[in-house]
A and B are shown apart, each in its own frame.
Chain A
């Protein structure tokens, strides 16, 4: 579905010389490589998480895949086409939903945008109504469609944005930080929506997000990009296993316990009675559980993997160490 071979994108920007005359007549430019010689491929019905720090090149890559940006070098094929040609049959099969962009008509109800989308994508009336009602039902926002977009909250607007963007049931969906700025309830609703949408319509989804929870909950495959270079391309499970060197033991204590007893087991990550959390190495896990059972009175004990944020942090710090060694 997507094949990317040695794609590079270089942005050119003007360097200020603190001299108006020079800035106007002898302008100097600097080149900044946003994406450097990256290659990957994505198959049908995959949901891929694309993550990396700010300025890593995630959005630039997505925009080249969608045909918004013209690559400086390399080749790419998306749905067997060169996306930059922007052929109508290609554009009808994709959707690009951005958390920081708005395609809804601001002063009019979202329903007007939906109608416009129906005409633009030439969606059959029956199919349009069926898809629209289905998407509205998943997001439980039927009551919002007749309100002007400008009176909707950010979360409500994002739900409408999703419906407008997906009415034509595209084969390929680009989601660029779709949950940015949303409260936890809206984030959850959007995540559930993406999951259900992808399962129902069998689309290929590429998701970028700074909320790693989005990626953890939705993606099986992960691509990590940093300074324009792909640093990891593989399953989410693998990276967690590889870089999650510690596990978390969460305990709900039955009674107050002297500090010395707790410290005998280890320094807790947090302790707010009755909740106590230890972070322990995988290899030490059975021994620690045994020790806790013998010394601490508790109602409940659970063992969890390290958070995805911790895993990615470990991944980056290990890579940094390797780079500085080499």
Chain B
């Protein structure tokens, strides 16, 4: 375990050093990410200028959902950035050299490209989330459940990214798969309650996007039932087992392209 953490930190250090080599890129991409975040916040305020509640949620509560979504999304972006670069490794055959290293390949292809730019943004996001949450939830209340579900959300995101990697090997296609994943998860920016049935159930129980993006906020607000709390862990475990089986299947099918 200690050895794996050491390798993870070395990959993270190298990734940061690579990113910071181009200073212009750092500035431009950070500004871009801030603008994108600000625009969605403006959209949120625009919606609430027309209505006082959204499916029973106040503006502060919706803002909390939005911020928790951003936290989960940003942590996923920080950890799993390397997945976006996976296709080239498969197509040019560099995956071969990774599979031959004495560590689990996920250390390199899943979490081997920690994104420092998103790491910077995590600080203001966390502060804004705390400010919004403290306005509607008594400090400390439900915080343990919130963190447990936040970890569960990262676990679900990990499983989704492993699925993307497995599909990357089987189909040499990553970009579209990751775009579909991004589009689906973006549905979780707002509470799942705003969607009609059966979409709401599909995005909660079939594709556990709702569990990933909404359940932590619901737990913090004290509106998540215990059976839903348990179901969330059962579904995330099933998803993890499915994604690992897909990964092992994909490895057996791997044809080592690129000569």
Query: Is A112 interfacial (CB 8 A cutoff)?
Result: yes
- Is B93 touching A112 in the complex (CB atoms < 8 A)? no
B96: CB under 8 A from chain A? Answer: yes
Complex interface: chain B residues within 8 A of A70 (CB): 251-252, 254
Residue-by-residue, is B240-259 near A (CB-CB < 8 Å gives 1, otherwise 0)? 00000000000110111011
For residue A132, give the distance in angstroms from its CB to the closest CB of chain B: 17
A101-B97, A107-B21 are contacts. A68–B254 as well, Cβ < 8 Å? yes
A116 adjacent to chain B (CB < 8 Å): yes
In the complex, the answer to whether A68 meets B100 with C-beta atoms within 8 Å is: yes
| A96 interface residue per 8 A CB criterion | yes
**Contact across chains for A91 and B101 when beta carbons are under 8 A apart:** yes
At the interface, yes or no: B49 with Cβ under 8 Å from chain A?
Answer: no
Indicate if the CB atoms of A120 and B101 lie closer than 8 Å.
yes
Query: Within 8 Å of chain A (Cβ to Cβ): is B17?
Result: yes
Cβ contact within 8 Å between A100 and B18? no
* A91/B102 in contact, CB under 8 A: yes
Contact string, B217-259, partner A, CB cutoff 8 A, digits 1/0? 0000000000000000000000000000000000110111011
Q: CB < 8 Å: which of A101, A108, A120 contacts B93?
A: A101
> What is the 8 Å Cβ interface bit string for chain A, positions 213-240, against chain B (1 contact, 0 not)?
0000000000000000000000000000
Instruction: For B259, give the chain A residue with the smallest CB separation.
Output: A100
B10: chain A residues at CB < 8 Å are 115-116, 119
- 23 residue pairs bridging A and B, Cβ less than 8 Å apart: A11-B255, A63-B256, A68-B99, A68-B100, A68-B254, A69-B254, A69-B255, A69-B256, A88-B103, A91-B100, A91-B101, A96-B96, A96-B97, A96-B100, A100-B258, A101-B93, A101-B97, A103-B97, A108-B17, A112-B17, A116-B7, A119-B10, A120-B102
| B9 and chain A: residue at smallest CB distance | A119
> Which of A59, A66, A102, A119 meets B100, CB within 8 Å?
A66
Interface residues on B, range: 20 to 34
CB-defined contacts of A100 to chain B, threshold 8 Å: 93, 258-259
The minimal Cβ–Cβ distance linking B147 to chain A, given in whole angstroms, is 31
Residues A68 and B252 in contact, CB atoms below 8 Å apart? no
- Cβ-based interface call for A122 (8 A): yes
Q: Which residue of B lies closest to A54 (CB)?
A: B259
Does chain B have a CB within 8 A of A251? no
Could you tell me the distance between the alpha carbons of A33 and B193 in the complex, rounded to whole angstroms? 54
Chain A, residue nearest B94 (CB): A101
Within 8 A of A (CB), among B1-43: 3, 6-7, 10-11, 14, 17-18, 21
Contact assessment for A101 and B96 in the assembled complex, using a CB-CB cutoff below 8 Å: yes
A273 at the A/B interface (Cβ < 8 Å)? no
Residues of B that sit less than 8 Å from A by CB: 3, 6-7, 10-11, 14, 17-18, 21, 92-94, 96-97, 99-103, 251-252, 254-256, 258-259
In angstroms, Cα B10 to Cα A67, docked, is 25
From B18, B99, B103, A67 is in contact (CB under 8 Å) with B99
Nearest Cβ distance between residue B73 and chain A, in whole angstroms?
A: 27
Measured CB to CB, the nearest residue on chain B to A90 is: B102
Residue of B nearest to A116 (CB): B10
Residues on the A chain within 8 Å of B3, using CB? 119, 122
- CB pair A67–B255 under 8 Å, yes or no, is no
Chain B residues positioned under 8 Å from A112 (CB to CB) = 14, 17
Query: Among the listed A68, A88, A115, A116, which residue makes an inter-chain contact with B102, where contact means beta carbons less than 8 Å apart?
Result: A88
A-B contact sample (14 more), CB < 8 A, given A102-B94, A103-B97: A11-B255, A59-B259, A69-B255, A86-B99, A92-B102, A94-B100, A96-B97, A101-B93, A101-B94, A101-B96, A107-B17, A116-B11, A120-B103, A122-B3
CA distance A140 to B7 in the complex (A): 29
Q: Chain A nearest CB: distance from B101 CB in Å?
A: 6
Closest chain-B Cβ to A138's Cβ sits at a distance in Å of: 22
**A67 surroundings in chain B (CB, below 8 A):** 99-100
- Is the CB–CB distance between A68 and B96 below 8 Å? yes
Q: Which residues of B contact A69 (CB under 8 A)?
A: 254-256
Which residues does chain B contribute within 8 Å of A120, judged by CB atoms?
Answer: 7, 101-103
A220, B95: Cα distance in complex, Å: 32
Establish whether residues A105 and B14, one from each chain, have CB atoms under 8 Å apart when the complex forms. yes
Q: Does A29 interact with chain B (Cβ within 8 Å)?
A: no
In the bound assembly, the distance between CA atoms of A103 and B95 in angstroms comes to 10
In the bound complex, how far is the Cα of B258 from the Cα of A98, in angstroms? 12
Residues of A within 8 A of B101 (CB): 91, 120
B18 contacts A105, CB within 8 Å? yes
A107 to B21, CA, bound (A): 8
Contact A98 B96 (CB under 8 A): yes
Min CB–CB distance A119 → chain B (angstroms): 5
CA distance A69 to B257 in the complex (A): 11
Task: Please report the C-alpha to C-alpha distance between residue A30 and residue B219 in the assembled complex, in whole angstroms.
Answer: 53
Give the most central of B17, B21, B101, B103: most A CB within 10 Å: B101
A271 near B: Cβ within 8 Å?
no
